[in-house]
Structure 1
Amino acid sequence: MKAAVLFSGGKDSSLAAILLSTWYEVELNTFLFSRDTKINAVMEAARSLGFPHHVREFRKELLGEIVDLIVREGFPNNAIQQVHREAIRELSGEYKVIADGTRFGDRVPLLTDDEVRSFGDRFGCSYIRPLIGFPKKEVERLVSRHLIISYGETGEIQNGDYETEIRGELVKRGLSPESFFPPVHRQSLVTGRKP
């Protein structure tokens, strides 16, 4: 059975894909607000993992709606949650199993148990989080054994995280992303898989 993994190119979604590949035919899925967004490094990360990779585009209005929500609330948490829900909803029309790299201790994006059940009931799919029981320390240990990673700040590292395009839209509106997002946010990008 196929399983769609929401894939940013980072360590968590990559590790989730590797774990799931024992039981499922994993397909990586990266969502963009615009097909013009350059994600060559994410595509290379997918190739290094050896799983099929699909690049998908959200509906055109979504980026504006998400940035409006961030500006209105003054912080990005609910907006990031909304983007994540939208990605899962879109994949539910094609896959019976959808997964991501959410791990123990994550705050955003993190669906509630009720939301997870609701996706299953409404769309007939299973939304799973293979890392949800793994604390950061254990994820780091597994990553160090299986993946080659580079790190950088959001905007400095080219990954498929929703935040990069959102920050760009804020700048287009003449707003400082630092007014809404934490000043330091370390991101990861898979550059290879260890033998």
Structure 2
Amino acid sequence: MKAGVLYSGGKDSSLAAIMLGTYYQVELNTFVFDPDRLIPSVEAAAKALGFPIRKRVFEKGLLNEMVDLVIEKGYPNDAINRVHQTAVESLAGEYNVVGDGTRFNDRVPMLSRAAVQSLGNRTGCSYVRPLLGYVRPEVDRLVDRFLIVEYGETGSIQNGDYEAEIREAFRARGLDCASMFPEHHDQSLVVGRKDN
């Protein structure tokens, strides 16, 4: 059975894909706002894992809605959660199993239990999060065992994280991201898989 995995190219979604690959035929899915955005680093990460990848494009106008939501709330969490839920819902229309790399102590993105139950009831899709029971130190230990990873600030690493494009849209409007987004937000990008 196929599983559509939301994929940023980072360590968490990569580890989740490896775990799900034990039981499912994994297809990686990276969502972007701009249809012209190229994702060569994410495609290279997918290739290193040995899974096929598809670039998906969010519905036009969603990015502007999310920038407005960040401005309204004064922080990005609600917008990033909404974008993530939109991506999960989109894949649920195509796959019977949808997965991602959210961990035990993640706050964003994180779908609530009610949202997960609603998704399953409405679509029949199973939304699985293999890292949900893992705290960050254990995820990092497993990542160190299986993956070669580069780290950097949001925007300096070319992964498929939603936040980078939202920040770019802020700057395009002439707005300062510093007041809305956390400082020193590290991102990761998988550049290889270790032979074990």
Q: What is the SS of the residue equivalent to 1:101?
A: coil
Q: Is 1:144 matched with 2:144?
A: yes
Q: Is 1:18 matched with 2:18?
A: yes
Q: TM-score with structure 2 length normalisation?
A: 0.98
Q: Is 1:107 matched with 2:113?
A: no
Which residue identity is paired with 1:157?
I
Shift in Å at residue 37 of structure 1? 1.7
Size of the alignment, in residue pairs? 195
Q: Using the alignment, how far apart are the partners of 1:189 and 1:170 within structure 2?
A: 23
Q: TM-score with structure 1 length normalisation?
A: 0.99
Which residue identity is paired with 2:147?
L
- Higher mean displacement: 34-43 or 121-130: 34-43
Q: Is 1:174 matched with 2:174?
A: yes
Other-structure match for 1:120? 120
Shift in Å at residue 38 of structure 1? 2.8
Q: Using the alignment, how far apart are the partners of 1:45 and 1:71 within structure 2?
A: 33
Query: Which runs of no fewer than 5 residues in structure 2 stay unpaired?
Result: none
Percent of paired sites with the same residue: 59
Q: Using the alignment, how far apart are the partners of 2:61 and 2:11 within structure 1?
A: 29
Q: What is the SS of the residue equivalent to 1:60?
A: coil
Query: Which runs of no fewer than 5 residues in structure 1 stay unpaired?
Result: none
Q: Is 1:73 matched with 2:73?
A: yes
Shift in Å at residue 36 of structure 1? 1.8
Q: Using the alignment, how far apart are the partners of 2:39 and 2:164 within structure 1?
A: 11
Q: What is the SS of the residue equivalent to 2:122?
A: helix
Q: Give 4+ residue runs of structure 1 displaced > 3 Å after superposition.
A: none
CA RMSD of aligned residues (A): 0.6
Q: Using the alignment, how far apart are the partners of 1:43 and 1:179 within structure 2?
A: 32
Q: Is 1:161 matched with 2:161?
A: yes
